Amino acid sequence: MASPERESQTFLQISRKRLKRQYHSSYHHLDHANTSFTHVDHSVDLPDDVLDMIFSFLPIKKAMQIGILSTRFKNSWNFNRRLDFDNDFARGRSPEDFKSIVNKVFDRHAGSRILSFRLCFDPNREELLVEKWIRKSIEKGVEELDLEFYQSGNVFEGRWPFKLNSDVYEAESLKILKLTLCQLDLPPKLKGLHVLNTLVLRKIIITPTLIDTLFQNCFFLETLDLAHCHRIFHLKIFAQKTFKVLKVGDCQEILRIYIDAPNLRSFHYCGHVCFIKFNSVPQLKDVMLSFRPSKGFTETFRVRNLVYDLHPIQVLTTTSTFLEGLSPKFIGGKLREMQFFFGNLKEFHLIMEGAIYCNPYDIISFLKHCPSLEKIFIDLKDFCFVRGPYWELHNRQSFQKYSASFDCLKFIKLPGFKFQKDELMLVKFFLERAIFLEKLVLVTPKSRHARVLTPNLQAYYQYLQSWKASPGAQIAVFEHLNDTSVCPMHSKTWY
């Protein structure tokens, strides 16, 4: 049997010294690789057309850098197929220099294809030039068009978003279209966009007519991603069988979302609690409901009506506001719990953000409806449980009396863990009931002011070990920067 000292060493799995060695080792190998790359082997004898083909698939920034190494490569970037003039390309360049380079690349482009064109640019007073770049990329069969426009200078000038010309709507080759701060005027019958697979819209005015036109014409659309868009009050999706992913983030005017998509696999929503209704989603697998904190009690009926539509899902990421909406309520003078069932749920990721009333029993009262759970992530962030009268009078006894086990639970992770009393109580609850648990991971908070010093970590370790119902379960504690453990399927935001 391993000594307590040896167990303590495994408990703190990555020391700072080890991390430092890994960092220097990685840096050494990276530096060696860069050195080897810059010393080009001039003995390699490949035909010019083969070299041009190889370089044509590199991002334009890399292709131009390689062109400096040898006179033989100096014109290879003219055949480049990936014209990525994004923030990384713009770094360290003035707006005039950036514009000049982009224009030069398009004027000299000699290749037959352009696979992708990404542009991060302020188009003010350069609209005709931008239209020229877009037109040429479309003429050369561009498949991915990413136009991230922004407005620099005085924000009170009253400038309009960049208006796309008809070339984009008539493009036959576009599979991925990403637009930021653009004006969309889709005609009722689109001449192009028939093979469009992915549409990402940011800071754009969305109308019901626009959404209807998309689904009536883009028969291969699989993904629609909207964020920071305006004038969406009632979003209605009547989708083709190919449609699989819908994401809606921080569209503040939205009131209702109605989805009729028989093959929808993934739904992500971030914003205030609104009315969300699914007609029939038998294929729905993963859902993110990042509800913003309510000013008062969460509108229970909106959350409770939603939960019945989500019974087939396997992965759920949500915030404590969602759990507040599902927590037991007084009905007819009696405290009653909601009846629902998530029989297929494998992964649950809870973000404790802005919770007002959520307590440990609210978490447990949800999880007991999820018998197939294998992974639980509870992001505590800077959150602290508040023990109020409601907890003391009603929830404490229910929490202590809960006796069922989590037979499928294998992995638990709590980022932002501060070793506070209620946090330890929650961990104890899981360890005593997860009979086949393989690993528990506790990660200290990111912010320094939220950290709590643990003067006797070995004592905490002994407590945790004594609570285990699964003898083989590993217990690990990481500092925030050193965490290398498994991460949830969804990040907090995607945009």
Question: Which CATH number does the domain housing residue 434 bear?
Answer: 3.80.10
Q: What is the pLDDT of residue 392?
A: 73
Domains of the chain: total: 2
1-37 burial, b at 16+ Cβ within 10 Å, e below that, comes to: eeeeeeeeeebebbeeeeeeeeeeeeeeeeeeeeeee
Domain that residue 141 falls in? 112-284
218 and 172 within one domain: yes
228 and 179 within one domain: yes
198 and 217 within one domain: yes
258 and 222 within one domain: yes
Last residue of a domain, one of 232, 258, 284: 284
Q: What is the pLDDT of residue 105?
A: 92
Q: Which residues contact 339 (CB under 8 A, 6 or more apart)?
A: none
298 and 280 within one domain: no
Q: How confident is the model at residue 121 (pLDDT cuts 50, 70, 90)?
A: very high
Residue 34 has pLDDT above 60, yes or no: no
301 and 278 within one domain: no
Least confident of 138-152, 309-323, 447-461, 462-476: 447-461
Asked whether residue 47 is domain-assigned, the answer is no
Instruction: Give the count of beta carbons closer than 10 Å to the beta carbon of residue 141.
Output: 15
Asked whether residue 434 is domain-assigned, the answer is yes
Asked whether residue 67 is domain-assigned, the answer is no
C-alpha span between 56 and 362 (Å, rounded)? 56
Least confident of 51-55, 167-171, 414-418, 468-472: 51-55
Residue 218 has pLDDT above 50, yes or no: yes
For residues 120 and 455, the model is more confident at 120
Asked whether residue 55 is domain-assigned, the answer is no
Q: What is the pLDDT of residue 296?
A: 56
Residue 381 has pLDDT above 60, yes or no: yes
Question: 291, 337, 332, 341: which is closest to 313 by C-alpha?
Answer: 341
386 and 353 within one domain: yes
Q: What is the pLDDT of residue 174?
A: 98
For residues 328 and 223, the model is more confident at 223
Q: What is the pLDDT of residue 5?
A: 43
C-alpha span between 24 and 299 (Å, rounded)? 52
Q: What is the pLDDT of residue 76?
A: 66
Per-residue pLDDT, averaged over 245-272, amounts to 96
The predicted-structure confidence for 273-330, as pLDDT tens digits, reads as follows: 999 999 988 999 999 999 988 765 556 778 878 888 898 999 999 998 898 888 777 7
The predicted-structure confidence for 241-254, as pLDDT tens digits, reads as follows: 999 999 999 999 99
